Structure 1
Amino acid sequence: MRNVLHSLALLACASLGSTAHAEQLRVMTSGGFTAAYQALGPKFAAATGNTLDTALGPSMGQAPEAIPNRLARGEKADVVIMVGYALDELIRQGKVDPASRVELADSRIGMVVRAGAPKPDIGSVEALKKTLLAAQSVAYSDSASGVYVQNQLFKRLGIDEQLKPKASMVAKIPVATEVAKGNYQVGFQQVSELLPVPGVSFVGKLPESVQSVTRFAAGIPLNAQHPQQAKALLAYLAAPDAQQTVQATGLDSVSR
């Protein structure tokens, strides 16, 4: 830990310069990278003196908390952390500096059941298909992973019509919380969003041949008030010293 903080302090000094002052950074982050950010952010703050004011919200969708919707109504941010292709759209719209884009992690989709329930087999495509057909109810998120499950996974498995009566999209809240309450038998979301939730058992990741890998990235809005401090934060989140923490939250490091 001491080496990590020392490296971060050196990085921050190099990025900010000797005359910079500690600032409060406004960070908007979406669910998939949130666990990693919540573990790494306090280390950055401790080493640099900067404080982090964090707003949570999905990378896309109609919810008012969604990062694009927050920016559209004039909310300010120094850093946005989100699904890579959603960040690219903000760059295309001229809202985020394209030179600031940093690749953070890859996220895969997993499945949970309620704690204490038998863990079904999803180790192969055929086993996954049988598990879904046997399930009484299926839930998935309203962000990138859920869009894939609803629009592609069920079709690729050839069970789209059979799943329609018992599959539901869960908006705004973690899917695992609904599974923990017993409202759904199985739930799908990015692994990093499933692992922190109590009351569920993690079954595993989707088979790789039907997996959807979501790249998380970050950038600095063009109207950021503290762009240099924001640059230091992004450099730390993507640094080699951060990767053990990133992987512990269920994410996969980006090959560099």
Structure 2
Amino acid sequence: MRFAANYFRNLTLGVAAALWLAGAAQAAEVHVMISGGLSAAYNALVPEFEKTTGNKVVTAYGPSMGTTVNAIPVRLGRGEPADVLILVGYALDDLIKQGKAVAGSRVDLVNSKIGVAVKAGSPKPDISSADALKRALLAAKSVAYSDSASGVYVSTEMFDKLGIAAEMKDKAKKIPATPVAEIVAKGEAELGLQQISELKPVHGVDIVGPLPDSLQKITVFSAGIATGSKEPEAGKALIKFLASPAARGTIINSGLEPIEGGAK
């Protein structure tokens, strides 16, 4: 009887160990490179994905474009591991053309609006129309904008549309890598312009509001699979989760608009 009991006990432990090892073998380590626009929602959602799937997510943050050390194209260029790339849609398209992301893997996740922020407690200027925003920008002693998609638009298109490119040349400053809101919170810029989802997580600023509709520039943030991914299926599962109805509330609370059926 003792032999039988020990036999079945050992058999049970063996089966349990085999099941645990099988589960461990199936668990994946998913490497993600992500730009700032979606980071707040992503950071809130990843723990649920890890809990549900057993996979571990390892994240590297950086701008969608540019030449700073943390920029996603620069990270890829020096061979950092990546399974999933989450960044501005047209920047992902560039990576696909360069062979650094898998063609056909792009999924559009969210639309992101540009907003204006001031230091917490400071008067909020009127930005309800193009003329009002123009007056606010001209009245500000200093303006900060990002080195990513929103900043490219602000500095190369919006100032021109408002007819104030010359006036903004000396007092508007591009902020590489660092969130614009941090510069505003420190009092180093009176007004800060960046995606609302990137302004919201920073303490010490008040968001005045989005740019007026006539000047607004919607940025699409997309996800794709990196070429050479070691865990493409786990990467696809993460993208599917971020695009699912379960993620919708968190995405909206972060200041973004989910895109339904965003596969390209």
TM-score after normalising by structure 2 = 0.88
Matching residue of 2:132: 127
Per-residue deviation at 1:176?
Answer: 0.5
Per-residue deviation at 1:64?
Answer: 1.6
Structure 1 SS opposite 2:252 = helix
- Distance in 1, Cα, partners of 2:121 & 2:241: 38
Structure 1 SS opposite 2:214 = helix
- Distance in 2, Cα, partners of 1:236 & 1:255: 12
Matching residue of 1:4: none
Per-residue deviation at 1:76?
Answer: 1.3
Asked if 1:215 corresponds to 2:216, the answer is no
2:38 pairs with one of 19, 30, 33: 33
Matching residue of 1:139: 144
Asked if 1:80 corresponds to 2:85, the answer is yes
Return the letter of the residue paired with 1:70.
R
Moved over 6 A (4+): none
Structure 2 SS opposite 1:189 = strand
Matching residue of 1:248: 253
Gaps of 5+ in 1: 1-17
- Distance in 1, Cα, partners of 2:255 & 2:41: 9
Structure 1 SS opposite 2:26 = coil
Question: How do 1:66-215 residues align onto structure 2 when only pairs under 5 Å count?
Answer: 66-215=71-220
Q: Check the 8 A contact 2:243/2:260 in 1, yes or no.
A: no
Structure 2 SS opposite 1:71 = helix
Number of residue pairs matched by the alignment: 239
Per-residue deviation at 1:97?
Answer: 1.0
- Distance in 2, Cα, partners of 1:218 & 1:248: 20
2:53 pairs with one of 33, 48, 56: 48
Q: Check the 8 A contact 2:30/2:55 in 1, yes or no.
A: yes
Return the letter of the residue paired with 2:149.
A
Return the letter of the residue paired with 1:21.
Q
Structure 2 SS opposite 1:43 = helix
- Distance in 1, Cα, partners of 2:97 & 2:24: 33
TM-score after normalising by structure 1 = 0.91
Of structures 1 and 2, the larger Rg is shown by 2
Per-residue deviation at 1:34?
Answer: 0.6
Percent pairwise identity: 54
- Distance in 2, Cα, partners of 1:241 & 1:74: 33
